[in-house]
Structure 1
């Protein structure tokens, strides 16, 4: 626990000065603004919730009154039709007396049509229809008249006959239009049984009064005062009679059981959860129907206005914070800018760049540090230059010492060989040996110059191997595979001969199972570099021992190991640390030496 508390403290302690100041500004600016935003949001949310629920109450009551009026209008119209003498008389006619009396039936039809049409002259009743016995000649008209016998097989008929209510209400369905085009329209219908007033146990027909669904929906839509909320009417079977927004209705998936529990408490709003959202809902049963009018408003919309205010305050808080941070950044920048510049220059010196100087025109504490830094860098640079010159002179002296000795053992052995050849054989090879030896030393000394062409260096190697073959009976095969275009490249002299000599003496000669050995020299350009590779098929060595040659010399032969290490140091001194030798070897697979130097063409 203590460590977890100390971690932020330690982080803050080691933070830069500007970071500490900005954190202080954050605490002093954003904390009060966040507190103010929270308090304002809570107050506004409470007030806005009361306002929106009050408005929703008024709209709900207005729509409820309208629906009651429509329902009562249809019921009163059904009363008039029910007790009409002509309707009672015509529907009570006997089949055996009037089935074939088409004249009387036609008169009856006209009389009923005129009577029903009188109800279809307002927005209250869109269609007035009767279900008549199937033997009536106009029973299949399907406009003002329908076949009662065919209707008796439907679920709506079964519900009507089983109901003890005065009227039943059909869910929304489609009928043909009153106009000549007969376009289908959506209606909501009242259905009522007609008893014979003279014989009350006999049902002689049914009344269907329809009202346009769009008239109901128009009022329902006006009752919905929110964007994501919904007002809808649902019957006792769970059918949706009308709704203000079908998409919003699908989100809440109406629950009839929940609505039944709210019908008796129609003056208050209740909380309910639909899906992943919370709603406030209100429900009220519509008299003389099995309908329930419901309005549901999501909490997110109730708080939308307060959320907008909250978002505005957050934006203002962010703007104020950014402006304050900008000012703080500018003010602190004037103080820490020079420190950051000094730190940046120090890091450059740490990485090895000594051509660094910091300009300072202000003579305060930071100015004193800057002057001291500049003096220190100049002193370091002077010391490094002196060390470099001393090192270069030492290496040149070592090279001259190496050139002076040019392997006396090799010279002695060669002269001895010439001597024995002269004694044992009277052959012209002696002249060849003498000429080769003379040319070898001529190329080695090169009039004291350190830079030669790649072509001269390769000629030097060819002569050297030729002399060695005279000594070892042509047991060494030399192959050179380098593009002649690279022959003009300028290189340090004597960087191949010590490597080839190591390959012969420590590689090929020590391979007892092989009579002959080969040395291959290849080269190729690599971007701005020249890569030379000397590869032999000698005994090889472990990789760690190969790497030790460049690090500590070859313990087996200090003279040759010193020569290879000297080559590597000369290349790095002349061209840079990224250049030099790389050894690759393994026992029985020979040795591969890679030489990387810059590709320098004197003519370019």
Structure 2
């Protein structure tokens, strides 16, 4: 069968061969392009919908966050009112004192909040003080009341509680007095309809908006999807594809806002474009057929002539003159060929200019080598001037800077001895000591044996920099900072440790510091360099404890790869 087809194809006329080959070579790419176009359209529409969803989600987040911030500022104003705190410090108040407390302190304060935030349903002071209940403003804490459901942590932090039975949201915060140990809680009662007002007109497209708290309780839900108004195709797509595009954002009180769009509504736009793409495909097939039949009768001879000219000797080819005068595609091909020949001739002439430019680049490279010497000479001059004027601090700083940059440049080499790397790192630490006015201590504990080996440049210094700026600089108590650099040979490896007694990190921060999620790009750069030079991916290990300090351990093979 294969032999018969081969013989049949060979016996076809050249024109028909062009038709068969053109159809075979064009049809499959056209099909691939059509499917790729439909897929690309779908991708961009979905990405656009995701972006629109994110915009809608951000608008919803800002609206709710603004309202919650207003309520939180109001309750913070009450809990920080020293006048209210002092009034509540009275032990065993008499009836008159209670009356005075209600009428002259609590009620005016609460009404002032009501006048500014009329959307608050109730403002109530729950207290363990021996007071009579005063309407909705003051209630004595009793077992089983709403405060029994609150999580009180003896701080003035503002918390939220959702009563799903009553469909009410409570905003509460404790109020403390240094004169007694009574429990006082300011409680705002809020209606979800007020907090989540105007969230039903975010988009004209079908969407589902859901707001839940940390307990996964549904605080608010809205959907403008109306299945009875969907067309046949939309209902069919809804049946076949139940998935959704979801975007989520978390408020600072751990409420989660979820904005989602049904995929069938997204695909409605794709369906129209896919239909257009199919029509374009059919039209392209028809036009392709007509074009191949027409072009096959006119392109054979001119192309063959052009091929013969291209196969001619280089001397004759460079001296060709246009022989085909036409404005069709073949004529443009001839023109492009002759233009290419002219460009080749021009490129030959430009070789000499390229050599001149190369010499200029070499001169710039030589100047770049001179620049570091100029920098060192400038620092040396600053040092000499400082010595002449008796300014020892400036002299020492200039010497340290000169030594640091001399070691870090390392004559352009990528490796240096451990001794020089330690010298570079210690020089950097001394510079930081001067910049920090000797506010921390520097301790060096390095075995002499380790100094004979080689490592890559600037391996230890980024960790020292990180320990100072992210650790020691953030000590919040009266501890004096301490930076320790250790180095030793351990079996067949070199081990370095950089320790600080700074702020430390949480377990989550420790887990992400070496990943792309972290913000310590210098450390990630060192990790990548170690992986490239040594072929070791787990050479850096962090251990840290919050408010105690951080230690990073670097373990490398004795010999570089």
Question: What is the TM-score normalised by the length of structure 2?
Answer: 0.37
Structure (1 or 2) with the larger CA radius of gyration: 1
